[in-house]
Chains A and B, each alone.
Chain A
Amino acid sequence: MMKVDPALCNYCGACVGSCPVNCMFLDETRVLIDEDKCIKCGFCIRTCPVGAISADWWSK
């Protein structure tokens, strides 16, 4: 499971543009993730400038 912490997220879209499989979508006020398409590369987690994205499978 991936989570975007709304308390940290700036809705800047950095994660969306970095996703190599285009499985993220920036709504006006939400980041949506299609986890069926996700390949768990972690680009979004590391790209996020404020560290708002986490996942149970993530380890550096």
Chain B
Amino acid sequence: MKRYEYDVLVIGAGPGGSMAARFAAKNGAKVLLIEKRPEIGVPVRCAEGISRDWLDMVDIKVDKRWIDQEIEGARIYSPDEESVIELSAEQAGNEVGFVINREYFDKHLASLAVEEGAELWLKSPAVKIIKEDGYVKGAIVRKFGEEVEVRAKIVIAADGYESQVARWAGINTVLRERDIVTCIEYRMTGIDLDERFTHFYIGSCAPGGYLWIFPKGKNEAHVGIGVALNKIKEPGEVKMYLDKFIEEHPNLKKGGPIQIITGAVSVCPVPKRIVGNGIMLVGDAARLIDPITGGGIANASISGMWAGEVAAKCLKNPGEECLSEYQEKVKKKWEKKHLRNWFVKEKLSELDDETLNKLMDVVSEADFKEISVRAILEAVQEKYPELIEEFEDLL
């Protein structure tokens, strides 16, 4: 078997992997980035919404080539669609700003890694990791059909939702049923919509999740849905929910799909451990998706950057202790937030349509200076005190 040696092996060239490779290389490491697909960014498994506030932090310059639509805000619709809450980009956080084109965006990020000196192999899945003396020391990679041994001081697992590398290495990324959201989305054309906004629909149309319309130009959008696995009984049920919604909305029904995208996301708190001896997890592989929005691109990019930086510092001593600097940074940024959002997600998923309609009615009519969970709850308490019992723990 052919043998290769690197300082850092990054498995998966999505945003998390490319950023990890870029920043490890930038800080002096000899880096190999591998991708199992024949093309970076394809097939897309994403609704492609991002905010703009984090791009400077990770040194990604906005490039028109990967922006399909600029977004002014988000509109959230009650189950009866009588109430609409409108959030500006600043208030809505994660999911508004741009609808991007991942085919270009992911290639752009991979290019930044290559420019810093990282080597990139396509059509090269990792099939097994190499573990010796309690340390991850590389992986067996099927490089263009040929199995080769890649030795590395540190492996960065950026293999997305599948999160297999972590589990091969003995790090627990198993999800509970209620923390899995299964998704399907059509890229639809010939539809009517207000393309300045992303649109979200909640309630029984998407149990434990939501339905979204993310514009990709004037008459085109991703129309997608995520449903919590604990609310699904039949195989393929999530597709039935989406088809039903489209059937009931003439502005969508008049158009047609030009692409079908599927996938799943985790909606859980930050795991206890995302590093081990010789291994670090980033992005979706580390279960860093926001449990309320399901957004993961920003978190993958930021965690990838930090993992790359810390990896380059720990080459002489790639044990869990040195790598835990990365874990601490991740926890400091997301542990509290994701726990709170996970809790809100759990509560929201138990509310019936009637209750959600009442809640949304209050929220849509209130004039908030600042949208916060507390401000919303106080406004609701005034009009429907009985509803607040559900949320008492949050007040």
Interface residues, chain A, with chain B CB atoms under 8 Å away:
10-14, 16-18, 20, 22, 25-28, 43, 45-51, 53-54, 60
Question: B residues bordering A, Cβ < 8 Å?
Answer: 36-38, 43, 45, 123, 125, 160-164, 167-168, 174-175, 177, 180, 182-184, 229, 232-239, 260-264, 266
Most chain B CB atoms below 10 A, which of A47, A50, A53, A54: A47
B233/A46 in contact, CB under 8 A: yes
If A13-B263, A28-B123 touch, whether A18 touches B239 (CB-CB below 8 Å) is no
21 contacts between A and B (CB under 8 A): A10-B261, A12-B43, A12-B262, A12-B264, A13-B264, A16-B161, A20-B174, A22-B168, A22-B174, A28-B36, A28-B38, A43-B177, A43-B229, A46-B233, A46-B235, A46-B237, A47-B232, A47-B264, A48-B236, A49-B263, A49-B264
Q: Are A49 and B164 in contact (CB under 8 A)?
A: no
The distance from the CB of A31 to the nearest CB of chain B, in whole angstroms, is 11
B338 to chain A, nearest CB (A): 18
Q: Given that A18-B175, A18-B229 are contacting pairs, would A10 and B36 also be in contact in the complex, using a CB cutoff of 8 Å? A: no
Docked CA distance A60–B45 (Å): 28
Q: Can you add 8 more A-B contacts, CB < 8 Å, to A14-B263, A14-B264, A28-B125?
A: A12-B43, A14-B183, A18-B175, A22-B168, A27-B125, A43-B177, A48-B235, A49-B184
Chain B residues with Cβ under 8 A from A60's Cβ? 233-234
Q: Which of A11, A12, A25, A43 has the most CB of B within 10 A?
A: A12
Cα–Cα distance between A49 and B261 once the two chains are bound (Å): 9
- Nearest CB in chain B: distance from A43 CB, A: 7
Instruction: Please tell me if the beta carbons of A10 and B262 are within 8 angstroms of each other in the complex.
Output: yes
Q: How far is the CA of A25 from the CA of B167 in the complex (A)?
A: 12
Our pick among A12, A16, A27, A47 for the contact of B45 (Cβ within 8 Å) is: A12
Chain A residues contacting B180 (CB-CB under 8 Å) are 17-18, 43, 47
| Pair B161/A47 contact, Cβ less than 8 Å | no
Report B-chain residues with C-beta under 8 Å of the C-beta of A48.
182, 235-236
Q: Give the CA-CA distance A13 to B261 in the complex, in Å.
A: 12
Q: Are B125 and A18 in contact (CB under 8 A)?
A: no
Q: Report, nearest first, the 9 A-B pairs whose CB atoms are least far apart.
A: A51-B236, A14-B264, A51-B235, A17-B161, A49-B184, A49-B262, A12-B262, A16-B162, A13-B162
Q: Could you tell me the distance between the alpha carbons of A32 and B236 in the complex, rounded to whole angstroms?
A: 20
Check B182–A49 contact: CB distance below 8 A: yes
On chain A, the residues within 8 Å of B233 by CB distance are 46, 60
- Write the nearest CB–CB distance from A49 to chain B, whole angstroms: 4
Q: B261: which A residues are within 8 A, CB to CB?
A: 10, 12
| A22-B173 Cα distance, complex, nearest whole Å | 10
Quick check: B162 and A45 within 8 Å, CB to CB?
Answer: no
- CB within 8 Å for A17 and B175 given contacts A10-B262, A49-B262: yes
Tell me which residues across on chain B come within 8 A of A20, comparing CB atoms: 174-175
- Nearest chain B CB to A45's CB is how many angstroms away? 5
**Least CB distance, B363 to chain A, in whole angstroms:** 31
Residues on the A chain within 8 Å of B174, using CB: 20, 22
CB–CB A51/B229 < 8 A: no
List of A residues within 8 angstroms of B237 by Cβ:
46, 51
A18-B180, A43-B180 are contacts. A10–B260 as well, Cβ < 8 Å? yes
> With A and B bound together, what is the CA distance between A20 and B233 in angstroms?
18
* A13 and B161 contacting across the interface, CB-CB below 8 Å: yes
Contact residues in A for B182 (Cβ distance below 8 Å) = 14, 18, 46-49
CB distance from B206 to the nearest CB of A (A): 13
Residues of chain A with a CB closer than 8 A to B168's CB: 22
How far apart are A16's CB and chain B's nearest CB, in angstroms? 4
Contact of A13 among B160, B234, B238, B260 (CB under 8 A): B160
Bound Cα distance A36, B184 (Å): 30
Which residue in A12, A25, A45 is a CB contact (below 8 Å) of B263? A12
A28 to chain B, nearest CB (A): 6
Max chain B CB contacts within 10 Å: which of A17, A45, A47, A48? A17
Contact yes or no, A18 B184, CB < 8 A = no
In the bound complex, CA of A56 to CA of B296 (Å): 36
| Pick from A25, A43, A46: contact of B164, CB under 8 Å | A25
